[in-house]
Amino acid sequence: MRTQVGIIGAGPAGLLLSHLLHLRGISSVVLEKRSRAHVERRVRAGVLEQGTVDTLVEAGVGERLLREGLPHHGIELRYAGTSHRIPFEKLVPGRRITVYGQQEVVKDLIAARLAAGGDVRFEVEDVALHDLETDRPCLTFGGARLDCDVIAGCDGFHGVSRPSIPEGVLSVHEREYPFAWLGILARVAPSSEELVYTRSERGFALHSMRTPEISRFYLQVPAGARVEEWPDERIWAELKARLESVPGFTLATGEITEKGVTPMRAFVAEPMQHGRLYLAGDAAHIVPPTGAKGLNLAVADVRVLTDALAAYFEHGSSGPLDGYSRACLRRVWRAQHFSWWMTTLLHTFDDDDAYARRLQLSHLDYVTSSEAAATTLAENYVGMP
């Protein structure tokens, strides 16, 4: 078999790349280890930047997103018994975020690829990469061979793409945080019209949503916490203790349909390319979810890679491909900083002392009282141009 671009991973990055390449007349094959049902049910991010929404709409896969997504024009910060709204419509006019689950983006992209006759293969075993430093790289899987001009590694942090790069080529930068997030989906209407980020002495909490009937919540929990330690009653009690911190707010509760613990880590591997292999999304970088940047960074990577591949296949120009990593990493490191900043601003740390806590509260006071500081938060949250 032969194709122009072999893509590993049928998450948002791999599927969107395949679709954008199709629109430019470039062939691709997508290989995915999991089943279609698994990737379409996998609950992940749900906050889409303005640029991500624009990309999906321009690619012709935004119809359901525009119909069912929940546009938000601000977020709420709660701390020390007070509530403060960061108004996007005032601070960054014309830009907003849209709440629409990652699994819904994946469903839309799979449907679009299959409708266009795209080659997306699920439950593919034993994928291996070969000859990356030649002009004839290839992929092998399940006894088959796929010859490519280029390979795109979109298979996430635990995939096979990044480990296929020879030792010593990549510089790795990482940080592990001393806490995790317990996330739940609940069959209950949201208690707030916008996302609520809460800093409390008990730890961080986030009230989000997926639909008008489904809410999403996160709790800061100790690193290594297990789901079994958090029965439903304990989760709701802790969410109420952290979120019902301002007068007049009551948290509605309901049936919890899903729960899981997510470690908090930051990771960047650079460069994001080696030979004919180009990494995108979580295969190259991870951010703590506080800033809602993971999915959006993957989309930004794919936009850059699509343009670079189009220049290569349409005009024989290798310059944009050579500069792919450099172009992506500028945004990646901006998102890393913003995610670190939001995380340290809103979480409690085991080694906090009274001095550190006062500094944290002082910074929150500054963000919520200074238009310049609030604008910095808003423009990063909705996504840099």
Residue 201 lies in a domain: yes
CA dihedral 302→304→308→314, nearest 10 degrees, is 70
Considering the domain architecture, whether residues 16 and 159 belong to the same structural domain is answered as yes
Same domain, residue pair 322 and 303: yes
Q: Are 378 and 326 within one domain?
A: no
- Residue 275 sits in the same domain as residue 241: no
**Is there a catalytic annotation at residue 197?**
yes
Query: Does the annotation mark 293 as catalytic?
Result: yes
Let me know whether 120 and 144 are in one domain: yes
Q: What pLDDT was estimated at residue 45?
A: 79
- Averaged pLDDT, 41-57: 92
User: Do the domain assignments include residue 84?
Assistant: no
Confidence of residue 175 (pLDDT cuts 50, 70, 90): very high
> Is 79 a residue whose pLDDT tops 80?
yes
Task: Kindly report the pTM of this predicted structure.
Answer: 0.95
CATH number at residue 119: 3.50.50.60
Measured at the CA of 247, the angle between CA 74 and CA 199, to 5 degrees, comes to: 55
Specify the pLDDT at position 164.
Answer: 97
Residues 295, 363: one domain?
no
| pLDDT band, very low/low/confident/very high, at 350 (cuts 50, 70, 90) | confident
Domain that holds residue 161: 5-72+97-173+265-340
Question: What confidence score (pLDDT) does residue 316 get?
Answer: 95
Over residues 204-222, mean pLDDT: 96
19 has catalytic annotation: no
Q: Do residues 51 and 296 lie in contact, with contact meaning Cβ atoms separated by under 8 Å?
A: yes
Q: What is the dihedral of CA 327, 20, 119, 160, to 10 degrees?
A: 20
Question: How far apart (Å, rounded) are the C-alpha atoms in residues 358 and 364?
Answer: 10
- List 289, 312, 324, 347, catalytic entry: 289
pLDDT of residue 44: 79
| pLDDT higher than 90, residue 42 | no
Within 30-159, where are the H helices?
36-41, 50-58, 63-68, 88-91, 102-115
- Averaged over 49-67, what is the pLDDT? 97
What CATH number has the domain bearing residue 241?
3.30.9.10
The stretch 238-250 carries a mean pLDDT of 97
**Sheet strands side by side (includes 70-72):** 47-48, 97-99, 70-72
Residues 53 and 191 in one domain: no
Confidence bin at 14 (pLDDT 50/70/90): very high
Residue appearing with tokens 């509605």: 252
Which of 293, 312, 324, 347 is the catalytic position? 293
The model's confidence at residue 259, banded by pLDDT at 50, 70 and 90, is: very high
Q: Residue 150: which of 172, 134, 169, 128 has the closest Cα?
A: 134
In this predicted structure, the answer to whether residue 202 has a pLDDT above a threshold of 90 is yes
User: Which residue in 72, 207, 285, 347 is the catalytic one?
Assistant: 72
Domain check: are 246 and 206 in the same one? yes
Burial (CB count within 10 angstroms: exposed 0-12, middle 13-18, buried 19+), residue 369? exposed
Whether 78 is covered by a domain: the verdict is no
Give the total number of structural domains in the chain.
2
Active site residue 324: no
Q: What DSSP assignment string belongs to 240-267?
A: HHHH--STT------EEEEEEEEEEEEE
Asked if 6 and 139 count as a contact pair (C-beta separation under 8 A), the reply is: yes
Query: For a pLDDT cut of 90, what percent of the chain falls above it?
Result: 96
Instruction: Quick: pLDDT tens for 103-135.
Output: 999 999 999 999 999 999 999 999 999 999 999
Task: Write down the pLDDT at residue 352.
Answer: 66
The strands making up 273-274's β-sheet, listed across from edge to edge, are 119-121, 28-31, 5-8, 150-153, 277-279, 273-274
- Mark whether 72 is an active-site residue: yes
Q: Report, as an integer, the average pLDDT of 280-300.
A: 96
Q: What residues are paired with 209 via a beta bridge? A: 215
Percentage of the chain modeled with pLDDT above 70: 100
